[in-house]
Amino acid sequence: MTTYLLRLPTTFSMKVIAALVLFFGILCAAHAGGGNTSLVVKSGEAKEICKCGGHWRVDASGKVWPVSIEVVSPPKNGAVTTRTSSGQRKLRNGEAKTVRLTSVVYQSKKGYVGEDSFTYRRVTADPTDPDNGKVYTVAVTVR
């Protein structure tokens, strides 16, 4: 009979893994298929919601589809705008492709300090896009 040693993760390593998952989840939650995310900004300064570069879409055949952003409910104490750029992204097959990136930017009213929030929808014309129409809610703390 063969005996195998099974090593279970320690409580400390589980806490580290959970913290990393939470950290990266908050950083890029706005691009993870919808849901809620939070953001801390300085009063009056424009800030991109996610440092992941923005929303983008490439279908299974390699076609690049533009992504647009529709504001569902605007912030009460600021404004939401979008920026478009292009950048290299790795596809699931490992190939790198230049894609159009659409990022969401929040800017509070100058001098405002407090809580704000807004909701937006990601839209593409790609009929196979599983994230088309997903709604994102962003809670903002303005300091």
pLDDT digits (tens, 9 = 90+) for 19-35: 333 333 333 334 444 57
- Residue pLDDT, tens place only, 65-123: 999 999 999 999 999 999 999 889 888 888 898 998 999 999 999 999 999 999 999 99
Beta bridge partners of 78: 108
Contact 104, 69 (CB under 8 A): yes
Cite the beta strand spans of the chain per DSSP E: 35-41, 46-48, 57-58, 64-65, 68-73, 78-90, 96-108, 114-123, 135-142
The count of residues in the chain is 143
Q: What's the predicted TM-score (pTM) here?
A: 0.71
* Short-list 5, 3, 6, 52, CA closest to 30: 52
**Quick check: 13 pLDDT over 70?**
no
What the chain holds in terms of domains, given with CATH numbers, is 11-142 (2.60.40)
Confidence (pLDDT) at 109: 96
Q: Which of 108, 109, 86 has the alpha carbon at shortest distance from 98?
A: 86
As a whole number of Å, the CA-based R_g of the chain is 19
Give Cα 71 to chain centroid, integer Å.
15
